């Protein structure tokens, strides 16, 4: 008999906790986009443009070194080239993650 009483008491406590949790849970309001805040497409476009600028700067520096322009050091050319390479690889990884996320969403059952 005591097991039945303990079970009932436990169920009552669980229901009370459930009601308490439901009372506390308030719907999370959807945040409106801030005025003037850049959207995802703008941020992504700016990142692609920055990578492009980095690659163009590295190319121009390499061309200046090749033609023998004074003040252009080989170490500067190599550093700029590596910066361009790393930024391009990072952009490629971001693209891969975005494509993977898109594919995962498209494969979700409806």
- The b/e string for 52-73 (b: 16+ C-beta within 10 A; e otherwise) is eebbeebeebbeebeeeeeebe
What is the span of the domain harbouring residue 60?
39-106
CA R_g for the chain:
29
Q: pLDDT in tens for each of the 110 residues of the chain?
A: 455 667 677 777 777 777 777 777 666 566 666 677 778 888 889 999 999 999 999 999 999 999 999 999 999 999 999 999 999 999 999 999 999 999 999 999 87
Is residue 25 in some structural domain?
no
**Domains: count for the chain:** 1
**Close Cβ partners of 59 (under 8 Å, ≥ 6 residues apart):** 84
Is residue 17 in some structural domain?
no
């Amino acid at each position: 008999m005591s097991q039945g009483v303990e079970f009932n008491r436990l169920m009552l406590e669980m229901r009370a906790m459930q009601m308490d949790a439901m009372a506390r849970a308030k719907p999370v309001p959807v945040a409106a986009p801030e005025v003037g805040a850049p959207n995802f497409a703008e941020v992504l476009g700016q990142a692609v443009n920055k990578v492009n600028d980095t690659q163009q700067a590295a190319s121009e520096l390499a061309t200046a070194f090749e033609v023998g322009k004074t003040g252009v050091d080989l170490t500067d050319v190599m550093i700029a080239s590596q910066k361009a390479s790393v930024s391009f690889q990072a952009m490629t990884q971001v693209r891969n993650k975005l494509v993977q996320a898109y594919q995962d969403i498209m494969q979700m059952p409806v």
